[in-house]
Amino acid sequence: MEYSNLDKAKAFIELSKQKPFDVRTGLTKDRIGRTMIPQGGGLTYSYAAMPVDDAIITTLQKLADEQEVIEKYKSLLKGTVINLTENRSVLHQLTRGQVLADKVVIDGTDKGAFYTEELAKIQDFSEKVRSGTITGSTGKAFTTVCQIGIGGSDLGPRALYIALDGWCKGKGVKTLNAAFISNVDPDDGAAVLAGLDVETTLFILVSKSGTTLETLTNQNFVIETITQTARAKGISGFDPRKHMVAVTSNTSPLASSPDIVKAFFMDDFIGGRYSSTSGVGGVLLSCAFGFDVFRQVLDGAHEADTAALETDITKNASLMDALISIYLRNVLNYPVTAILPYSQALLRFPAHLQQLAMESNGKHVNRFGKPISYATEPVIFGEPGTNGQHSFYQLLHQGTDIVPIKFIGFKQNQLGKDITIKGSTSQQKLCANLCAQIVAFARGKDDEDPNKQFEGGRCSSLLFAQALTPKTLGALLAHFENEVMFEGFLWNINSFDQEGVQLGKKLATKVLNGCEGDEVLKAYADLF
């Protein structure tokens, strides 16, 4: 299977010669109805306001076929070594607990069975925590779970927890509170710990390697702080080790650490930013909301993974999204993309997607280490609507650069509480704003006053559903994971390593060791 460079692909050359579809005049009711793709999990993708017509879509199909993206996806699912720089397979789809291909056996281990067994461990443990069968060292039931991790060990799980909290409360699901410690800044840990009851908090330490400096520093900070707190309050019998579990690899130092009571396992075939449906997110979410809720997330993700196998791009939402993103980046040369959820529950979802996309595809060489001559991942940013409308939307509407937008919206809110003012509910106002923004960006507005002139032609897509449920959330998560994967295939880059993260870590260690003869580094270090 050949991995050709994008700029040499025949379909891409053809694509670059085609005129973009004009969304200012072409966005019609009929087009909206013809440009929807069911994603699974109740989620639907619409590209009506994107600058692509039937001719461009036909060429995008040729590009997908020429680059054999579905064949590469199937190869990934079978356990083929996709991550060449680290000589690893890529198996995060297996963390959903269901297989999409033949049995994947690596080093004698059936990886599908491995992750199914881990899910069973998570279910058993979380049910015992929630029932009070497993308690803290002083016999009190856990009421809070606190995740200690950074990057993919924090952003995804935190985003999913916030997204599900309202739904669970609206459905009357028993919930445990959740807290997160990620930044090595001691003020972060101190502020979080100040609000926790040490007797009723379970800490989840997440580090695949077991050697992440920030996470291990925070682990020791937590142990020391909660021990001091228990002593200051005169709590007898308090043992911090009975308040801490780990999610790590079975070969890491944490797997046998005397400071934890139990370990859940992942392995090197699961990248941190792709790990939310593994124990990295599963232990936290199952303890906080119950394993059944987490299982629904997995089911939605699996449905999206299955839908991503479709070869017809008009029936494959994540592939269509990826191909249009390639068109926007490499033909229309747009360097930034905004992800704008019209749901406060998705407050931290753009931050997770920022890491997912920019850490995966922010690369300047291809899979074989050769320089590439075209742009890769755009800058990703986002904020929930309608807050964003009152800050950066000014630039999106009237700035000198066109910023493609990915909107996310839901017909219903999660908690079921609302109020009617001037004939409409708050949720109706939220949805009205979302619809209005799509049209306003596309069509613009003529005005004699140049300050009130809107050029339009600002493109956007929409992912929408009836409500943000656990299953829909899982599908939403997998949609973007698969989109990023497909983009990597099309760019012929490795979406599953992150060497750009390592250099700063190494230099920070050098600073802590006295800079070791590096005068420039020491000059900065001396400032602090």
- Is residue 505 part of the annotated active site? The answer reads yes
3-state helix/strand/coil string of 432-485? HHHHHHHHHHHHCECCCCHHHCECCCCCEEEEEECCCCHHHHHHHHHHHHHHHH
CA distance readout (Å), 327 to 32, 118, 212, 405, 406: 20, 40, 37, 14, 15
Spatial CB neighbours of 380, under 8 Å, sequence gap ≥ 6: 336, 337, 338, 339, 350, 353, 354, 357, 358
Q: How far apart are CA 411 and CA 419, in angstroms?
A: 15
159 backbone dihedrals φ, ψ, rounded to 5°: -60, -40
Give the gyration radius of the chain's Cα atoms: 24
Q: Which two tokens stand for residue 43?
A: 């989620």
Q: Which two tokens stand for residue 357?
A: 């996309």
Pairing relationship of beta strands 144-148 and 177-181 according to DSSP bridges: parallel
- Is residue 359 part of the annotated active site? The answer reads yes
Catalytic residue of the set 390, 448, 506, 519: 390
Note whether 434 and 407 are within 8 A (CB).
Answer: yes
CA distance readout (Å), 385 to 203, 342, 431, 507: 33, 5, 10, 39
Alpha helices in 132-208 (DSSP H): 155-170, 186-194
CB neighbours of residue 177 within 10 Å: 17
Q: Is 58 exposed, middle or buried (0-12, 13-18, 19+ CB in 10 A)?
A: middle
Catalytic residue of the set 359, 383, 483, 487: 359
Q: How far apart are CA 205 and CA 215, in angstroms?
A: 8
- Is residue 390 part of the annotated active site? The answer reads yes
Note whether 176 and 288 are within 8 A (CB).
Answer: yes
Note whether 468 and 462 are within 8 A (CB).
Answer: no
Note whether 96 and 277 are within 8 A (CB).
Answer: yes
Active-site positions read 359, 390, 505
